[in-house]
Amino acid sequence: MGILLVYDVTDESSFNNIRNWIRNIEQHASDNVNKILVGNKADMDESKRAVTTSRGQSLADEYGIKFFETSAKTNLNVEQVFFSIARDIKQRLAESETKAEQPQTITINQPNPANGSAADAQKSACCGS
């Protein structure tokens, strides 16, 4: 239903793996699965950062997904990430239920007023009636 793509902001290789993970998601998950990109360890000193916030945001923008930076250690934005993906999933499911509930009507052998009466249309219906 939803996937959090989490990388470590102090580890360039974890960030570089995001593209591979997204390819795997595109190959194996539902097309409409909700995704959020998360850069973790946002509490770390800037000198230890390997991935800037702007690079994370750019990658998220490239794939059209939301982006957050979090810290599991200090609880920065952790709840917001989970609430955000839960809201997105709930909205997607509500939209798909609304589409499923819309009645689809099919009319067969509806008479064309330009071609005669309803009785004429009935005579030409299936099985010689």
Residue 128 backbone zone (phi > 0: left; psi -120 to 50: alpha; other: beta): left
Q: Report the C-alpha gap between 115 and 123 in whole angstroms.
A: 13
Q: What is the tens place of the pLDDT at every residue in 52-94? A: 999 999 999 999 999 999 999 999 999 999 999 999 999 999 9
Q: pTM for this one?
A: 0.77
Which among 43, 70, 77, 72 is positioned nearest to 56, based on CA atoms?
A: 70
Average pLDDT over residues 113-124: 55
Record the tokens describing residue 17, joined without a space.
């793996």
pLDDT at 103 over 90: no
pLDDT of residue 125: 55
Q: Please, which pLDDT band fits residue 117 given cuts at 50, 70 and 90?
A: low
